[in-house]
Structure 1
């Protein structure tokens, strides 16, 4: 794979499998926690099925790793006592194309906007093609932390709990990630947003 190229389905599946194995979790145990069949999870791990945004967030949440781990970033074990050190006086540069995007179900793409992972915060650009959704079968996602997003172009529909919000260019939102939520692009042009996850 070329540097900065999006990981293909097999590579993403292999990363999910490696993270599962590093955490000492069986295929059946993770599938049960996700509420899917072991066969469906096996297809994801073999690159035969691409996870939705919701499913990927569920996987990393259960495995207690940041979303950056799906990009192939090294992550400490959940029990690690020492946090990753960020050197405030160090300059880190990533050129366009250095950081790969993740292409998920429905064609949704996530690209990390920081040159290296930053402990405690994840900042991504997300692109939702027309008709795409963060989930399969209209399911909602719940996980720990808070989310903040700002739409740069297009329109996104967010269902948060029992409320629906339409966000256009320049609109932003913040909500607790523990509230069931899903994101959709019901428009006819791609929607681009900057998304911040605070675990």
Structure 2
């Protein structure tokens, strides 16, 4: 019996993360100066990120979305505002066909690809690819953010530094931890490291 699936239209594989962050900021009615104050950086740095002169690191991208009060998933969809993202209808589903998922390239060549096909309240689901030597955090220290993180390694090797321990993940390994636990993710191997991540956000 024919049925209509709630499929999403194709998107370009790579989005302009700076332009998308600017649109999200404006959509929240926040000035670049106010965002800069929340992030503890200069308005000039915000401007350079939004004009794609500088690519944000993973930690900076998460800090920006947290400051804007939008899910990380909102960065990956330039078609619609976060609140209007398609949700599965009652008794139905949302479908994103192979090759249609969007991605963003961040500092040091880290690639984030959105895996969730539509808005899933309280959850971000994505795939990351870290080239050799790439890190989620540009600075030497550790960082923290909102939510609870679950990761599964697909290929390569990723290192996660915590306050008192270093964990090396290889294909098939899985890990979970509260994002409030200071950490730093980086690729200490010799090949691209691919992992899938689920971030569960606390209810407010």
TM-score bracket, shorter-length normalisation: 0.7 to 0.9
Q: Tell me how many residue pairs correspond in the alignment.
A: 190
Question: What is the TM-score normalised by the length of structure 2?
Answer: 0.86
Q: Deviations for 1:34-89, whole angstroms, at most 9, x for unmatched residues?
A: 12211111101111111110100000011110011111252139xxxxxx854352
Contact 2:87 2:118 in 1 (8 A): no
1-side partners of 2:146 and 2:39: how far apart? 15
Q: Name the structure 1 match of 2:21.
A: 16
Q: Name the structure 2 match of 1:91.
A: 93
1:181 aligns with 2:188: no
Question: What is the TM-score normalised by the length of structure 1?
Answer: 0.88
Q: CA deviation at 1:24?
A: 2.3
Gaps of 5+ in 2: 1-9
1:3 aligns with 2:11: yes
Contact 1:13 1:44 in 2 (8 A): yes
1-side partners of 2:102 and 2:171: how far apart? 25
What does 1:24-173 align with in structure 2 at a 5 Å threshold?
24-71=29-76, 72=78, 73-76=80-83, 86-87=88-89, 89-173=91-175
Q: CA deviation at 1:162?
A: 2.8
Indicate the RMSD between aligned Cα atoms, in angstroms: 2.0
